[in-house]
Amino acid sequence: AQAEGLRDGDLVLAAIEKGDQRYGPKRGKILEKIGHEGDARAASLIAIAAHNVPMGFSEAVEKEAEDQELPSLKGREDLRDLPLITIDPADARDHDDAVYAMRDDDPKNPDGWVVWVAIADVAAYVRPGSALDREAREKGNSTYFPDRVEPMLPERLSNGLCSLKEGENRACMAVRMVFDKDGRKTGHKFVRGLMRSQAKLSYEQAQAAIDGQTDDTTGPIMEAILYPLWNAYRTMLKGRLKRSPLAIESPERRIRMNAEGQIISIEPRVSLEAHRLIEEMMIQANVCAAETLEQKKTPLLYRVHDAPSQEKLFNLGDFLQTIGKPWTKGEPATTKRFNKLLDETRGGDHAEVVNEVVLRTQMQAIYSAENVGHFGLNLDRYAHFTSPIRRYSDLIVHRGLIRALGLGKDGLTDREVAELPAIAEQVTMTERRSMAAERAAMDRYMAAFLQERVGATFGGRITGVTRFGLFVRLEETGADGLVPVSSLGGEYFTHDEKQHALIGERSGQRWTLGRTVEVRLKEATPITGGLVFEMLSEPAPRDPNAPAPRLGARGRGGGDFPKRGGGRPGGPKPPKGGRPSGGLKGVRKGKRR
């Protein structure tokens, strides 16, 4: 009866039934049909279900959201005359941050700047202990897919009262920061206010205006708003360059879809100066939040990123030796040292692979009630403050500021203070869960897009070397797939971890990390997101100077798939290593510093 009306290929949610049957297939109870494997949007649904991302909201939460009203000016500063603007992705529906900059008129700060960052005051609506709060904490953050968003807060708040919409009064938490002519922050002050955004711009629109292509929206605000913003950013940039945060380049891909959910193209996301401007202003606002809470002795959730471990640094040194780059293993890791390495290899044959290996050397960023600093950003203290619509961690920091500065009765409670370590663990877990679901959906969409091109030839680069085969990333789409060791020829291959290579035991021929290769697509399986390639390039010859491969894990060429994990679609994924959260790429939608 459960299966009534179901067809082959329908996707269902099922629960394994408990029973004493020990052998044979498990019995399951079908809970609901969620779609069909042929549906264009099936990838996101499978990823949500597979990673247990909570969907939707309870009736109690929807009702609580509907009952919220815009706060009055009571207890707030009137910031509505401040010409704040939002700059977001073109398709953004929630606007949680607005910015404005002006020259500092203080004669003691010549050529200095005042920068305002205003953030949606989510704490005014989502109060500790409410149903809204409980479900927001359970979700931990919004999860972003190419075709949908699973939001942390109901639409009434995320796209309504909390979204800093152009021309509408909105409650905000704002920070006024002062920078000197060298881009050093000399002071800041938080206020709880009421604001009204002057303009809503996309990154592309703001960048085009600065590059000389104005439109009806940007033309009238160039002198008063956009030029001062860019001039302030260029001053702040001096401070950033002096600080030397980790400069890893991690190209992202964007999936473009039509109205029916069919994939039109997969293309690299363009990185604009407008992105970097917003990023730096958000980073500085986050630093201010951490500094103020520490100064007021109020507990907080830090965003921490530990320095790389000795083991990872030794592995990096081993690899760099294979490409002739010196790296003193005993020296402590600093961002300046990594950046020097990245600068020296940028534009050369090894640029991409060095970038990838440096990325894998990093630890993962997490939330913590204890501070160990942020290695990647090269900051002593850092907290997430700028995205409370989509991250619970930021909401906790807002409540901390309200408590510390006496800005209302809806601040951090004593109970929450006691629970901070548990909250840190929860939001770190939900962030990992969302990243895994987002990546799984991307893999499935990539496989669906490439399914019609089975048999086609692609250029790519070896991004992972394992005993069971080579992972190759395609240049055109950024899709990752496996070349099984069984298809590499008729000899045993030894996986040399130090050299990041598969080495033929008889011939000494080598497949090494970072090499550009040509492959043919053999299989694409959208349901699992798996891609299998056939290698068309020839291996590199034996290296006469290389030490004999250490006999260890061996993969057999010319036979069947290895027993464990094989190269089947949906088998092992490319090694992600110690990838920092979001690849240390930013603080905007879908990115996580």
- Whole-angstrom distance, CA of residue 44 vs CA of residue 50: 10
pLDDT tens digits along 578-589: 333 333 333 444
Bridge pairing between strands 85-88 and 199-202: parallel
Question: Residue 466 pLDDT more than 90?
Answer: yes
Most confident of 372-381, 509-518, 539-548, 569-578: 372-381
Cβ-contact 574, 463 below 8 angstroms: yes
Bridge pairing between strands 530-535 and 185-196: unpaired
- Whole-angstrom distance, CA of residue 46 vs CA of residue 37: 9
Judged on CB neighbours under 10 Å (0-12, 13-18, 19+), 286 is buried
Bridge pairing between strands 516-525 and 530-535: antiparallel
| Region of poorest pLDDT, from 71-80, 201-210, 312-321, 395-404 | 312-321
Closest to 169 in 3D by CA, of 180, 181, 160 = 160
Cβ-contact 240, 378 below 8 angstroms: no
Token pair for residue 71? 């706060």
Sheet order of strands, 554-556 included: 510-512, 501-504, 492-496, 554-556
pLDDT class for 243, splitting at 50, 70, 90?
very high
The neighbour count for residue 392, using CB atoms within 10 Å, is 28
SS3 170: strand
Q: 207 versus 586: which is more confidently predicted?
A: 207
Contacts with 85 (C-beta within 8 Å, 6 or more apart), sequence order: 98, 99, 100, 197, 198, 199, 200, 201, 221, 225
- Whole-angstrom distance, CA of residue 157 vs CA of residue 125: 8
Residue 589 CA to chain centroid, in angstroms? Answer: 8
- Whole-angstrom distance, CA of residue 469 vs CA of residue 339: 31
- Whole-angstrom distance, CA of residue 141 vs CA of residue 301: 15
pLDDT for the residue 162: 97
pLDDT for the residue 38: 65
The neighbour count for residue 75, using CB atoms within 10 Å, is 12
Can you name the CATH fold of 454-581?
Answer: OB fold (Dihydrolipoamide Acetyltransferase, E2P) (2.40.50)
- The residues that bridge with 174 in the sheet, in sequence order, are 118, 191
pLDDT for the residue 10: 75
pLDDT class for 378, splitting at 50, 70, 90?
very high
pLDDT for the residue 154: 97
| Region of poorest pLDDT, from 41-55, 125-139, 164-178, 271-285 | 41-55
The proportion of the chain whose per-residue pLDDT surpasses 70, expressed as a percent, equals 89
pLDDT tens digits along 82-136: 999 999 999 888 999 999 999 999 999 999 999 999 999 999 999 999 999 999 9
pLDDT class for 21, splitting at 50, 70, 90?
low
Domain with CATH 2.40.50.140 in the chain: 454-581
